[in-house]
Chain A
Amino acid sequence: MADRLGELARRFTGLLGSDSVITDPVRLRTYECDGLTVHRTTPGLVVLPTTAEQIAAVVTECVRTRTPYVARGSGTGLSGGALPRGDGVLIVTTRMRRVLEIDVVGRRAVVEPGVTNLAITQAALPHGYYYAPDPSSQQVCSIGGNLAENSGGAHCLKYGFTVNHVLAAEIVTPDGEIVTLDALDPGYDLLGAFVGSEGTLGIATKTTVRLTRLPEKVKTLLAAFESTEAGGRAVSAVIGAGIVPAAIEMMDALAIEAAEASVRCEYPPGAGAVLIVELDGPEEEVAAEYAQVVDLCSEAFEIRIAADDVERAAIWKGRKSAFAAVGRISPAYIVQDGVVPRTALPEVLARIDALSAEYGCRVANVFHAGDGNLHPLVLFDDADPRAGARAEELSGAILDLCVRHGGSITGEHGVGVDKSRYMPRMFSEDDLDAMHRLRCAFDPWNLCNPGKIFPTPRLCGEVPGVRRGVHPLVASGEAELW
C-alpha cells in the first residue's frame, strides 16, 4: 500500500506540482477529520488541485491503481462525509475558489467548488441578488460540499435546499471523465440525484447556481415563550394560517444558555424557548403576514422586532452559533440531526425530554421548527468513559423516535460514515439495493468515497443479465448500439 501511495505521490507531483501534494505525516494528519471529530483517519495522501483536469487526472490514476479517494471542501461536514481513507487519496478543493461569473440578467452564478456559500452571496449582493441556501456554516462551507450534502439552512423552509438552486454541475465522474449535468437536459435528473449523494457519485468541479432576488422587505422577530410547547403551538398556528415564513427557528432554554455564554445574544431572560420568525417578500405581503404572526404568537411573553440589519444579525447570531456554542456549557456533546413531520413535534419533544431524564444526559434543542428538522445536542462529559456511550445511545434513540414518527434520520447533515448504521432503520434491504444500483452505475469499482451512506460494504459486480453478444434488434438493424 505504501508503495502504491508512494508511486501515486510521485505521479501527482508530476501532474500538480510539489506544493499541491502532501505526503508529510504531520501535515497529513491535519486532514484526519471534518467537522465531526469522533471519526478520524489520517489520509494516505492529500492533493490540492486547481483545475477539473487535474482532478480528472488524479481520479483516473486512482481508478487505474484501484485506490480509494475522497473529496473534501472546507471540512465542515457533520456526518464524517469527508472522512479520509488511510489507504487512499484525499482530494481537497480549497484552492479552487474563484467565482467565475455573476450573470445578473440570467440570475445565476458560476463558481468553483471551493468557493464558500457566503462568497456567492457577497459577490451577488451588489447586484441585488443572493444565493438562498444558507447553512449555519455558510461563511466557511464550500459549495462543493453543499452539493455533496444537499445543504439546507434556516431559510430552506421557503426557498428550498441546494438541489433546488443548482442549475448545472460539471463533475468528474468516478471513472475520471469530465461531464456536465445540466437541469435543462432531458432524461433522468442525474443532476438532482448527484446533489446530496455525499460525494459518492463524483466530484463537482464547477457549479452553476441560481441567484435569488433580494426581497423588498425582511422582517425578523424574536418571540420568547415560557416553554417549547407554547412555542410549538405558535409555529402550528403560523403554518396553519397559510403563512410560509422565510425561516421559523426554535431554541430551548439550554440552547439559549449556550448561545448566551458564547455570543451574548441577550435573548429575553427566563425564556423556556425562543422562536425566530423571519418574513420576507414584497412589502405589503410582509406587513400583513407580520401582523398575523404577532397575533398568532399571543402566548409569547416578549416579542422583539429587528429594526435594522444590525439588530437582525444580533437575533440570528445566537441561533447560528448555537452548535459550537454548546462547547461553552459542556465538555463534549453530540450534534444530532433528525426530522419528524412538523405536527409530531410536541410529542417528539416531550419524548426527548423523557429520554434525556432516562439516560441522565442533558439535551439542548435547536430546530428548524417549520419543517420539523430537530437538532438535539446531547451533552456529556468525555472525562467519564461511560458518559460517551450513554450519550451515543440516547442520540440513537432520538433517531429511532424520528423514524417511528415517519421522519428521517437526517435532515441536512447527511448520512456519511456516522449514520450509515442507522440506514436500515429507515430503509429496507431492497431500498438500499436500489440506491446501490445508482452508485454502481457511476462507480462500479466502489472507489469514490467508499464506506459512506451504506451500512454494509456492497459490491457492484457485473451488470446483471446484460446480454452477451449482439442484441437481436441490433442484428436486425432495428436498433443501433450507442
Chain B
Amino acid sequence: MSGIDPELIDDCVHCGFCLPACPTYLLWGEEMDSPRGRINLMEQHVGGVPITPEMAGHFDACLGCMACVPVCPSGVRYDLLIEQTRAEVERSYRRPPWERALRTLVFHLFPYPRRLRLLRGPLRLYQHPGLRRRIRPLLPAPVAAMSELVPPIRPRIRLPRVVRARGERRAVVGMLTGCVQDAFFAEVNSATARVLAMEGCDVIIPGAQGCCGALSEHSGRAEEAARFSDRLGEVFTRAGVDAVVVNAAGCGSSLKEGSPLRERAAPLAFHDLTEFLMELGPRAERHPLPLSVAYHDACHLAHAQGITAQPRTLLRQIPGLTLREIPSGQTCCGSAGTYNLFQPDAARELGDLKAANVRSTGVDLLVSGNPGCSLQIASALSRAGVRLPVAHTAQVLDASLRGLSRKALRA
C-alpha cells in the first residue's frame, strides 16, 4: 500500500503548464524531471511499479520549490504529493550506502543548532585560505560542496529571552531563531528582534527551541519532523505566546502547513516577519537608505506562503531605496533546504543562473528572506567573481529604522 494519494494524482490533467515553472525542467528539459513527469512516476508507483533508483533519483532531484503549485490551473497539490512521495521513498526504497551515510550526517547535524554551533570553530579554521587549499581536495564531494556554502564565521550573538517594545506596546510575539539562521546568520536574528521591538512588540525568544522540523519534513522524514515541531510548539506555548514570527522562509512554510502528526505546534499562529509587519502597519520612522536593491523571492515565501508583495512594500517604504526585479525571479536559486547538499551539481547550475540574473539588475545589494537562499546566491555570486552583498529583509529594515548608513549593509 503506497502512501501517495491517488486522488491527488488524478487531479493532474497533463496540461504541462507547470513545465516552464520547474527549475529542473529548465536545466535538463526532460519530462521526468518536471512536475508533470514526476506525477506520472508517482502514478506508476501507485499502480504497482516499485521505486527504482531512477525513479527515486527524479524525486530527489525535485527542489520542492513549489513554483509549480500556483501556476497549476487544475489546482494539483504537488506540495502534498511530493511530501507523500518523499516519505514513500524513505519507507520503501533502500538508498545506496554512500547516500545513506550522507543523509545520516545531514539529518544529525542541521536540525540541531548546538551541533551546528560546534562546527563554527573548525569552519573558521577551514576558512583560512591556506588551510582550505590543503584540506578541500581531501573532502568527499558533498562535504566540499557544503563547506563552500558556509559564510564567513562571525562572532556569536546571544539574544536575550525577552526584548521589550520601544514606545507603546502593540503586540507580544514569539520569535523563532532557527538552526542555520542561529548558527551562521545570528545578526539576522538580532536585526529581526530589534525591528519588532522598534515597531512596538515585546519579543519573546525562548531558549532551546531546536529545529522546526522543516528540513526533515521536506525530505520525507515526517515522524522526525513531528518530533521537532512538537517540541517547538511546547517551548512557545510554555513561553506564553500565541503568535510566532519566523524569519526563515522554509521554516515558516513548514510550520504554517500543519500536519496531523504535528498537533502541539498547531494552536500557534506562525507569521513571516514581513507579513507580520505589514499587518501591524509601520510606526517607527524610516530613515533614508540610498540603495538600489533587488529582492529575491524565496520559493518557500513566494510559492508556498504567497508572500511576494509584503517584503516589497516594506522595502519601498524606505526613503531613497529603489527596488528592482530580478529576471526569471520565480525560478528557484537551487538552495531548497538540503538540496544543495544532496544535489550539488544541479544546485550549482541553478545558483549560477540566479547569480547571472541577479547580476543583470546592476543593484548595490541583494535582499532575501531566507538564510538558505542567501548562502546559495552569495556563494554563486562569489564563484562568478561578483562582489555583491546579500542581506536579509530584516537587516535592511533594521538599518533604516536605526538610521544607519548604507555602508552598514555593504559589508
Instruction: Tell me if chain B binds chain A.
Output: yes
User: Residue A262 at the B interface, CB < 8 A?
Assistant: yes
B13 close to A327 (CB less than 8 A): yes
B41 close to A76 (CB less than 8 A): no
Given A137-B17, A139-B20: A97 and B54 within 8 A (CB)? no
Given A35-B15, A140-B20: A262 and B31 within 8 A (CB)? no
Picked from B13, B19, B28, the residue with its CB within 8 Å of the CB of A37 is B13
A324 close to B17 (CB less than 8 A): yes
User: Residue B263 at the A interface, CB < 8 A?
Assistant: no
Which residues of B does A touch, CB under 8 Å?
A: 10-11, 13-17, 19-20, 25, 28-32, 37, 40-41, 44, 49, 52, 54-55, 58, 72-75
A94 close to B30 (CB less than 8 A): yes
A35 close to B75 (CB less than 8 A): no
B29 close to A114 (CB less than 8 A): yes
User: Residue A408 at the B interface, CB < 8 A?
Assistant: no
Given A75-B16, A140-B19, A324-B74: A30 and B29 within 8 A (CB)? no
Picked from A48, A114, A327, the residue with its CB within 8 Å of the CB of B74 is A327
- Within the complex, the shortest CB–CB distance from A132 to chain B, in Å, comes to 20
Q: Please report whether the interface of chain A is mostly helix, strand, loop or mixed according to DSSP.
A: loop
- Interface locus among A21-29, A205-213, A305-313, A386-394: A21-29
Which 7 residue pairs of A and B lie closest in terms of their CB atoms, listed nearest first?
Answer: A324-B73, A94-B29, A327-B74, A321-B73, A30-B37, A95-B29, A30-B32
Cα–Cα, bound, A384→B14 (Å): 21
Q: Mark A1-43, 1 if CB is under 8 A from B, else 0.
A: 0000000000000000000001010110111111111000000
B54 close to A37 (CB less than 8 A): no
Residues in A neighbouring B31, C-beta threshold 8 A: 30-31, 75, 92, 94
B16 close to A76 (CB less than 8 A): yes
Residues in A neighbouring B30, C-beta threshold 8 A: 22, 48, 94
Which residues of A does B touch, CB under 8 Å?
A: 22, 24, 26-27, 29-37, 48, 74-76, 92, 94-95, 97, 114, 116, 118, 137, 139-141, 262-263, 321, 323-325, 327-328, 331
Kindly report which residue of chain A lies nearest to residue B15, judged by CB atoms.
Answer: A324
B52 close to A26 (CB less than 8 A): yes
Picked from A30, A34, A74, A262, the residue with its CB within 8 Å of the CB of B40 is A30
What are 5 A-B residue pairs whose CB atoms fall within 8 Å in the complex?
A29-B44, A30-B31, A92-B29, A116-B20, A140-B17
Residues in A neighbouring B16, C-beta threshold 8 A: 35, 74-76, 137, 140-141
Cα–Cα, bound, A346→B371 (Å): 59
- Within the complex, the shortest CB–CB distance from B221 to chain A, in Å, comes to 24
Cα–Cα, bound, A303→B157 (Å): 59
B14 close to A33 (CB less than 8 A): yes
Residues in B neighbouring A48, C-beta threshold 8 A: 29-30
Cα–Cα, bound, A464→B210 (Å): 82
A30 close to B17 (CB less than 8 A): no
Kindly report which residue of chain A lies nearest to residue B10, judged by CB atoms.
Answer: A331
Picked from A74, A263, A324, the residue with its CB within 8 Å of the CB of B13 is A324
- Within the complex, the shortest CB–CB distance from A169 to chain B, in Å, comes to 21
Most chain A C-beta atoms within 10 Å of own C-beta, residue among B13, B37, B49, B58: B13
Picked from B14, B52, B73, the residue with its CB within 8 Å of the CB of A35 is B14
Kindly report which residue of chain A lies nearest to residue B18, judged by CB atoms.
Answer: A140
Kindly report which residue of chain B lies nearest to residue A97, judged by CB atoms.
Answer: B29
Residues in A neighbouring B32, C-beta threshold 8 A: 26-27, 30
Cα–Cα, bound, A318→B100 (Å): 46
Cα–Cα, bound, A262→B73 (Å): 6
Residues in B neighbouring A31, C-beta threshold 8 A: 31
Cα–Cα, bound, A264→B147 (Å): 45
Residues in B neighbouring A325, C-beta threshold 8 A: 73-74
Residues in A neighbouring B19, C-beta threshold 8 A: 74, 140
Picked from A26, A33, A262, A323, the residue with its CB within 8 Å of the CB of B54 is A26
Kindly report which residue of chain A lies nearest to residue B72, judged by CB atoms.
Answer: A324
- Within the complex, the shortest CB–CB distance from A53 to chain B, in Å, comes to 18
Residues in B neighbouring A22, C-beta threshold 8 A: 30
B75 close to A262 (CB less than 8 A): yes
Residues in A neighbouring B72, C-beta threshold 8 A: 324
Kindly report which residue of chain B lies nearest to residue A331, judged by CB atoms.
Answer: B10
Residues in B neighbouring A263, C-beta threshold 8 A: 73
Cα–Cα, bound, A92→B31 (Å): 10
Cα–Cα, bound, A331→B74 (Å): 11
Cα–Cα, bound, A30→B14 (Å): 11
Residues in B neighbouring A97, C-beta threshold 8 A: 29
A27 close to B54 (CB less than 8 A): yes
Residues in A neighbouring B49, C-beta threshold 8 A: 26
Given A24-B54, A325-B73, A327-B74: A32 and B17 within 8 A (CB)? no
